[in-house]
Amino acid sequence: MRTASLLCGLLLTGPALGQTKEIQDKIDQVLALCKEFQSGDNAAKVRIATKLADLGQGASAAAPTLVDGLAVANEDVRLNAALALGKIGKGAIKPLQETLSHKDANARFYAVWALAWIGPDASATAPQVIRLLADDNDNVRRKAAYTLGRIAPVPDTAIKELIKAFGDKSPEVRAAAGEAVAHFGAAAVPALRRVLKDDVESVRIQAIHTLASLKHDAKPALDDLKTIFLTAQNNISFPASTALAAIGKDAIAALKEGLKAERDDIRQSAVRGLAKVGADAVPDLVDALAHTSVEVRREAAQHLGAMNIADKMVVLGLAYATADSDLQVRMQALSALQRLGPGAKLAAPKVVAALGDANDNVRRTALYTLARIGGEAEAVLPALTKLAKDPDVQIRTTVLQMLPTYGKDALPLVLDSLRDAEPRVRMQAAFALGRVSGDLSKAVPKLGELVQDADPVVRAAAVAALGRGGEEALPHLKTALADPTANVRAAAALALGSLGPSAKKLGKELLALAENDSGILVRRNALQTLGTFGDDYLPQLIGMLKGIPKTGKTATLGMALIQTLGNFGPKAKDAVPDLIEALDSKVQLQLRWSAAQALGSIGPDAKAAIPALERAAQDPNQTLRNNATTALVRIRVK
C-alpha cells in the first residue's frame, strides 16, 4: 500500500527546513491529515478528504494517500477522495496516472473521474484515458469517455477514439462518448457526418444524437440528416428529425419536405420537428392544419396549442380547425383556443358555430372555450339561448355561468332559466341574477316563485338574488324569514341588509330571529342587518347582550352582537357593564377580544371599563393585550 509517510518525511527534512514557518505549518497540517486518513475509519477518511479538498493545491503532498483511498471498499470514501484529488489539480496527476492501470476497477473509475475534474491540465494523460475506452468494466469505459471530452487533448485524436466508442455494447458508454464528442463543437461535425454512413445502426443513431446536441453547429450535416429523415426506418428517421429541429430555422425546408412523405410516421415527425423549431415554424404548422392527413392535422393542432402563441394567423387557423371533419382535431383546436384566452377572441364566431356540433364533448368544450375567449353579445347570446335548452345539464349550468358577462342583454335568458326543471340549473340561474348588472325588479316575481321551490339550495340562491330586487322583494323575503331551512332564513336576513331603508319594515321579524332562532348563522346575519338600521333597534340589541350565554356554541353569536354594538360607537354606552362582564370572562378568548374592541369604540363613555382593560392589558394573550391597550388609549382621550 502506498503511503504518504516517506513523502511527508522528505518534506520535513529537505526543502521544508528552509521555508517560512507558515509553509512549514501547512506541511505539518497535511502530514497530520495524511496520518489520520490512513489510520481512521471510513467516516474519518471522508472527513479528512473533505478537509484536504478545502486546502486545494496546498494539499498536493497528500495526493498519494488520497489515491490509496480510491481502492477503499467504501463508496463515500472513494468519491470524496476523488473530489479532493480533483481540487488538488496538477499535483495529483502523476499518482492518478499510475492508478489508471490499477487492478481494482473502482480505483480506475475514480482515478479517471478525478482527471476529468482537473480538466485541461490533465491533457497529457489522454493516451492512457483512451486505452481505458477498451476497459473490461462498463463504468470505467463510460467515465473514460466523459473524461476525454473534458481534458481537451488534440481534437482529431480524441474525436476519432470517442467515435469508436459509439459502437460500444453499453448504451451508457455510447451516450457518454456522444456527449464528450459534443464538447468539441463544430470541429466534430466532419467526423460525425462520416459516421452517419456506418454499417452499425447503433453507431449511426449515436452520431445523430450527438449532432442534435450540437444544435446550429451541426448545420453542415443538414443534407445528410435530411436524407436519413426522409428515407430511413422510424427508429433512425425520428432522431434525424429531432436533430434537424435542433439546427433551427435553417432546417425548416427539410422538415417541410417530410410533410409530403407517403409514410405517416415521417409526416408526424415533421410536424413535431417544426414545433421544436418554435416561432419561426409557426406559419408552416398553421398550414399543416389543412393537410390531407388527419394525423398531421392532429399533431399540428396539438403542438400549436402547446406553443401558446396568440398570433392572428394562429388564432384563425385554429378557428377553422374547429370545423374539421375529425373529432380529435376539433377538440384539440378548441382546447388550444381555450388556453389562449381573450387573445383568441377573433375565433369567437367559429367557436359559436361549434356550439352546434353533433358531439356532446365538442359542444361542451366549445362552450368552455367561449367562456374563456369572450365574444360580442349579438353573436354569442343567440347561440347561448339555444344551449340553454340543451339536454345536458352541465351545458345549461355553464351557459348560466357565462351570462352575467353580457349584462342586461342576458337578463331575459336568465329569467327563463329560473323555470328549468333541474334544481341545479334553477340555482345557477338565481346566482347569475345576482351577478347580472342592472335593475332586477322585473325578476322579482319569478324569484318569488323560487322562494317556494322544493329544493332548499334553490330557495337560498333565489333569496340571495332578491337582495337586489328593491322594495318589491320584501314580501318574498318575509316569507323566506320563516322558511323551515336555516340556510334560507340566514340568506334572507343577509339579503335584507342590501335593500336599504325599506328593509326596516321587517325589523321586528329580524329581531325575533336574532333573539330566538335555532340557527346561529341566522341569528348572526339578523344581528348584522339590524346593525344597519341605525338607532332604531339599539336598545333591543343592548338588551340581548344580557341574555346571550358567553360559552359554548353561542360564543360566536355573542361575538357578532358585540361587534355590531361596537359599530354604534358612543351610542352603545349602555352596553358597557355587559361588555366589562364579557371582557372578564375566562371561557371564550375571542369574545374578550371583541369586548375590548367594542369598549374602545365607545370611547370616554366607557371609562368604567378602565380597571378591567388594565387587567386585560397584562393578559398572556398578545391579541387581547393589544386590543385592551388600544381601547385604553381611546377611552382616555380628552
Task: Give the separation between CA 195 and CA 559, rounded to whole angstroms.
Answer: 82
Quick one: cell of 181?
Answer: 464528442
Work out the angle at residue 464's Cα, subtended by the Cα atoms of residues 458 and 468, and round it to the nearest 5 degrees: 135
Task: Give the separation between CA 50 and CA 54, rounded to whole angstroms.
Answer: 6
User: Which residues of the chain are modeled with pLDDT < 50?
Assistant: 1-18, 552
CATH number of 543-638: 1.25.10.10
Q: Which residue has the cell 364533448?
A: 361
Residue 333's Cβ-count burial label (10 Å; 0-12, 13-18, 19+) is buried
State the CB neighbour count (10 A cutoff) for residue 619.
Answer: 15
| Burial readout 176-214 (b: 16 or more C-beta within 10 A, e: otherwise) | bbbbbbbbbeeebbebbbebbebeeeebbbbbbbbbbeb
Residue spans per domain, the chain: 543-638
Angstrom CA distances, 115 to 120, 129, 181, 285, 342, stand at 9, 9, 17, 47, 56
pLDDT of residue 547: 64
Task: Give the separation between CA 221 and CA 396, rounded to whole angstroms.
Answer: 57
pLDDT of residue 457: 84
Contact in structure between 366 and 336 (CB atoms under 8 Å) = no
Quick one: cell of 491?
Answer: 340568506
pLDDT of residue 638: 66
Distance of CA 31 to the CA centre of its chain: 52
pLDDT of residue 2: 47
Quick one: cell of 249?
Answer: 430555422
pLDDT of residue 246: 96
* pTM for this model (two decimals): 0.65
Work out the angle at residue 260's Cα, subtended by the Cα atoms of residues 254 and 264, and round it to the nearest 5 degrees: 105
3-state secondary structure of 133: helix
pLDDT of residue 1: 46
Quick one: cell of 549?
Answer: 350565554
Predicted confidence (pLDDT) per residue in 386-395, tens digit? 889 988 898 8
Predicted confidence (pLDDT) per residue in 418-454, tens digit? 888 898 998 888 888 778 876 778 888 888 988 998 8
Task: Give the separation between CA 26 and CA 319, rounded to whole angstroms.
Answer: 75
Contact in structure between 558 and 592 (CB atoms under 8 Å) = no
